[in-house]
Amino acid sequence: MAQDEFSIIRQYFHDVGPECADVRLGIGDDAAVIAVPDGMQLAVSIDTLISGVHFPPDTAAADVAAKALAVNLSDLAAMAATPSWFLLSISLPGFDADWLQQFSDGLRRSAERYDVQLIGGDTCRGQLSITVQIAGLVPADGYVSRAGASVGDLVLVSGQLGNAGLGLAHLQGSLELPEELASRCVRALNRPQPRLDLVDFLRNFASAAIDISDGLQGDLGHILEASGCGARIEQGALPVDPWIEQHDLYRYALASGDDYQICCTLAPRHRGEVENWNSQYPERSLTIIGEVVDSGFLLRVGDEWIDLGNHGGFRHFE
Ligand code: ADP
Ligand code: MG
- Do residues 174 and 303 share a domain? yes
Q: What is the CATH number of the domain that holds 162?
A: 3.90.650.10
Residue 189, SS3 per DSSP? helix
DSSP class per residue in 26-90: -BTBSS-EEPPPTTEEEEEEEEEEEBTTTB-TTS-HHHHHHHHHHHHHHHHHHTT-EEEEEEEEE
Would residue 290 count as lying in a domain? yes
Long-range contact pairs involving 28-35 (C-beta distance under 8 Å, separation at least 24): 31/120, 32/85, 32/87, 32/119, 32/120, 34/84, 34/85, 34/119, 34/135
Q: Could you tell me if the CB of 115 is within 6 A of ligand 1? A: no
Report the chain's mean pLDDT, rounded to a whole number.
95
Quote the pLDDT of residue 188. 97
248 and 201: one domain?
A: yes
pLDDT tens profile 150-167? 999 999 999 999 999 999
Structural domain span for residue 227: 154-307
For residue 145, being part of any structural domain is answered with no
Check pocket membership of 122 for ligand 1, CB cut-off 6 A. Answer: yes
Q: Which of 5, 12, 23, 27 to mutate to test the pocket of ligand 1 (most atoms within 8 A of CB)?
A: 27
pTM assigned to the model: 0.94
Residues 264 and 193 in one domain: yes
- 126 with 162, same domain? no
Same domain, 75 and 169: no
pLDDT, average across residues 241-264 = 97
Cα–Cα distance for residue pair 257/168, rounded to 1 Å: 9
CA 257 to ligand 2 center in whole angstroms: 31
Q: Please tell me which residue, 314 or 131, carries the higher pLDDT value.
A: 131
The number of distinct structural domains making up the chain is 2
Ligand 1: which residue has its CA nearest to atom 1?
30
Ligand nearest to the CA of 92: 1
Residue 315 resides in a domain? no
Cα of 33 to ligand 1 centre, how many Å? 13
Residue 2 has pLDDT above 70, yes or no: no
Beta bridge partners of 298: 232, 307
Which ligand places an atom closest to the C-alpha of 91? 1
* CA–CA distances in Å: residue 146 to residues 21, 104, 168, 191, 298: 31, 33, 28, 25, 19
Strands 23-25 and 286-293: unpaired
In the chain, what is the straight-line distance between the N-terminal and C-terminal CA atoms, in Å?
36
User: Over the stretch 103-141, which tens digit does the pLDDT of each residue have?
Assistant: 999 999 999 999 999 999 999 999 999 999 999 999 998
Considering the domain architecture, whether residues 160 and 209 belong to the same structural domain is answered as yes
Per-residue pLDDT, 313 = 53
Q: Predicted confidence band at 4 (pLDDT cuts at 50, 70, 90)?
A: confident
Mutate to test the pocket of ligand 1, among 103, 108, 122 (most ligand atoms within 8 A of CB): 122
Give per-residue burial for 20-39: e unless 16+ CB within 10 Å, then b.
eeebeebbeeeebebeeeee
State yes or no: pLDDT of 15 exceeds 80: yes
Residue to probe by mutation, ligand 1, list 4, 118, 123, most atoms within 8 Å of CB:
123
Q: Residue 318 has what pLDDT?
A: 60
Are 46 and 98 in a shared domain? yes
Report the CATH number that the domain containing residue 92 is assigned in CATH: 3.30.1330.10
C-beta of 123 in contact with ligand 1 (< 6 A):
yes
Q: What's the CA-to-centroid distance between 124 and ligand 1, angstroms?
A: 10
3-state secondary structure of 15: coil
* 52 and 94 both lie in a single domain: yes
**What is the pLDDT at residue 134?**
98
Asked if residue 4 has its Cβ within 6 Å of ligand 1, the reply is no
Distance, in Å, from the CA atom of 181 to the CA atom of 57, rounded to the nearest integer, reads: 23
Q: Is residue 283 part of a domain?
A: yes
In a domain, 168, yes or no: yes
- Asked, for residue 147, whether it belongs to a domain, the answer is no
- 294 lies in the same domain as 192: yes
For residue range 34-71, what is the model confidence (pLDDT) as tens digits? Answer: 999 999 999 999 999 999 999 989 999 999 999 999 99
- Identify whether 318 is part of a domain: no
